[in-house]
Amino acid sequence: MEYLRGLNPSQREAVEQTEGPVMIVAGAGSGKTRVITYRVAHLIKKGVDPFNILVLTFTNKAAKEMRERIMNVVGTEAKNSWMGTFHSVFAKILRVEAEKIGYPNNFTIYDTDDSKSLIRTILKEQALDDKLYNANFVYNRISSAKNNLISAAEYLNNEQIQAEDFSSGRGKLGEIYQIYTQRCFKAGAMDFDDLLFKTNVLLKDHPDVLYKYQNKFKYLMVDEYQDTNFSQYLIVKKLAAITENLCVVGDDAQSIYAFRGANIQNILNFEKDYPELKVFKLEQNYRSTQNIVQVANSIIANNKNQLKKEVYSENETGDKIKVIRAFSDNEEGKIIAEEIAQERSLKGLKYQNFAILYRTNAQSRAMEEALRKLNIPYKIYGGLSFYQRKEIKDLIAYFRLTFNPNDEEALKRVINYPRRGIGDTTVDRIIVSADKNNITLWDVICDPSKYLDGRSSTSVGSFATLIQSFQVIAKDHTAYDAALHIAQHSGLLKDLYEDKSVEGLNRYENIQELLNGIKEFSEREDIEEKGLDVFMQDVALLTNEDNDKNPNADTVSLMTIHSSKGLEFANVFVVGLEENLFPSQLSLSSRADLEEERRLFYVAITRAEKKLTLSYATSRYRWGTLTNCEPSRFIDEIDPKYLEIDFKPLQKPASSSFFDDERNAWDNRSSGDTFSKPKPASKPKITSILPKAHVPSPDFAPSDTSNLQVGMEVEHERFGFGKVLTLEGNKPDVKATVFFKEIGQKQLLLKFAKLRIVIG
């Protein structure tokens, strides 16, 4: 078994244990993909038929990478294994079995935009307040219900759910869910959540189908198991019920998707489902320096709810982790941009070696502005993907309509684009006629003279003929030939070509790029069916992670920490490490939420290979108001021996006089300033880089500050004793600038500050 020689002992044990339930706890950078790859290859080498192996991943990109690696070991036989995302694998099964649950085999897959568009249509038809029933909120509510396998009927009959909805003033949510479900069914469409929800329905209601796939998939592997939700958990459990040859791979320390329905208990309680479970721990980190790994360990050790493991690195010790303090978010961006420019120049690095990670998308603004000023090229990762651009969605809507003319969202999108004299009034009449006669919109369009009059009837009839001609072309031509024909004869290509603006040229080039991609698909030798419908199935299941990153682009990467999962960079900056930002204010009400935030910080740290920098600002604008910020508790949780604390004097923004007093106070701060850089020869060892909590006086009670005046001495529960320097603003939004003896200057909003007046 020469091919196994490159594995370390822990990896090899996990690969060779092919029978029975197995859990591989894979620490960050521990070679998880390598283990999955070699485990599948080892099964095939042992004589297991690749058709009997199912590997479930969370991105198509990951599945493609694994398949290519397996082929390098066992050859082209690896193509026969079932490997892909949960959604792509079960969409494939549903296309075979769809008729058993009342769907056509050519059902459309609605993306998030399609689903929200349909919800907005329903809200309008029901005359509901779109502020109270916000489309995003309604979509997320329906998605959450489906991920927990709650159907529309069950939702309406659940007293607790109904009570929650009515108490929030949204008592119609159940009805919206029911109408949405009916409209999707009528349109022959499933949304992303349906692909798993309907699979569960299929396996539950049709034991013969369940038995068929239980016997087909004799060996199951699930990557990133900590990110599975209840719906995914149940599918896997059912499929593995006969053989129990189930191997799950994951890291509870990187479970960061609870907001999407992921349930960390799936991995924490895996042994309860399978008492005969064998557990293997991959604890050697091949990615990061020893210092980075130790910092990650010291952070995650604060979580109580976890699977214990001892991650270590045999790489170089590496630099200490630098901590940057800035006066504002703009200064934070400036410092980091300068650090990137300097580091790149001194070490001859490329821009693609750097990544800036943040908790929320809004934080990118200050970073972008700073990078632009230094002419540093960057790309925001996780932004609008290629397949979400309007012109791409327009052409794909024509493709969708060609294969499923009942697709209501695709039809409404292109029926009058390019313009063909079918206005909103005509579309409304089509919708009313369809509802009144309990038929589809396509039924009305195919017989317009029966439901419409005069000129509109002619225009609609011509559109129906056009789509029918596309259906004929698509049957007998390759994906590329059919796509080009549709792009040309729909008028879309001509419309974009005639727009000579910069935006118009970009849109035209994007359509050309889509057609190039379809041409490449048509010429692939590794697939037999090359129709446009097959291409469409792949496109519908692409995720942002599959589209966004060009590994050859020499740009600094900017992204949220959630988007960074699975990536790695030589130099990583984690910015905005402030209380109420990271950890998020929304996470502070429960231990479970706070522990998820800490896992998110762990993920951010472990993206770094060589150098890690943490930063925070002491002030930041939020909703138009300048807010004073405290350093994140997460910084204080790091063992100080791994940190480089090198704080520069805080700088006043050049364009503002608002901060004059604050800048002066910082420049004249006391020698006991917690943030001052320690001098090794004369100062004691740092035990914390955060201000220590002040212990209030025994008689502490907040005073009435309505008559507070400059010069008064006050006490704050956390900041201690201080003196009022300035008062600004009108009641009730008066702001006080106070110089505290222990930590320096703070600006406080009096209505929230809870100050005790000590000396008037």
* Catalytic center residues: 32-33, 223-224, 254, 607
* Exposure b/e, 599-618, CB count within 10 A at least 16 = b: bbbbbbbbbbbbbbbbbbbb
* Contact indicator for 337, 374 with CB cutoff of 8 Å: yes
**How many C-beta atoms lie closer than 10 Å to residue 124's C-beta?**
10
Structure tokens at 480: 């590329």
In sequence order, the β-bridge partners of residue 250 are 25
The tokens 């080009």 sit on which residue? Answer: 484
Q: Classify the C-alpha dihedral 750-753-756-758 as positive or negative.
A: negative
Quick one: how far is CA 443 from the chain centroid?
39
Count other Cβ atoms within 10 Å, centred on residue 411.
23
If one counts every other C-beta atom within 10 angstroms of the C-beta of residue 57, the result is: 24
Backbone angles phi, psi at 109, to 5 degrees: -105, 115
On whether the CB atoms of residues 379 and 557 are closer than 8 A, the answer is yes
Cis amide leading into 583 (omega within 30) = yes
Report the SS3 class of residue 64.
Answer: helix
Q: CA end-to-end span of the chain, whole Å?
A: 83
Q: How far apart are CA 65 and CA 549, in angstroms?
A: 15
Smallest CA-to-CA distance from 466 within 518, 520, 422 is with 422
Q: What are phi and psi of 618, to 5 degrees?
A: -90, -10
CB of 649 closer than 8 Å to CB of 667: yes
Bridge partners for 571 per DSSP: 354, 611
Give the residue from 171, 81, 186 showing the smallest Cα distance to 128.
171
Return the closest-CA partner of residue 532 out of 542, 520, 518, 543.
518
Q: What pairing do the DSSP bridges indicate for beta strands 246-250 and 219-222?
A: parallel
Please state the three-class secondary structure of 195-211 as a single string.
Answer: HHHHHHHHHHHCHHHHH
Q: Single out the residue of 563, 514, 122, 115 nearest to residue 360, CA to CA.
A: 563
What tokens does 486 get? Answer: 């549709």
- Cα 167 to Cα 176: distance, rounded to the nearest angstrom: 17
CB-based contact 346:670 (threshold 8 Å): no
CA gap 102, 87 in Å, rounded: 19
In order of 275, 445, 557, the CA distances from 224 in angstroms are 21, 46, 23
207-216 and 230-239 helices, crossing angle to 10°: 70
Instruction: Determine how β-strand 713-716 pairs with β-strand 720-728.
Output: antiparallel
Cβ neighbours of 119 (radius 10 Å): 24
Q: Is the dihedral of CA 287, 289, 292, 297 positive or negative?
A: positive
- How far is residue 50's CA from residue 250's CA, in Å, rounded to a whole number? 23
Half-sphere exposure of 743 (CA within 13 A, CB side): 21
CB atoms within 10 A of CB 353: 20
Helix axes 591-605, 290-300, angle to 10 degrees: 180
569-574 vs 354-358, strand pairing mode:
parallel
Altogether, the residues listed in the chain come to a count of 760
Indicate left, alpha or beta for 653 from its phi (over 0: left) and psi (-120 to 50: alpha): beta
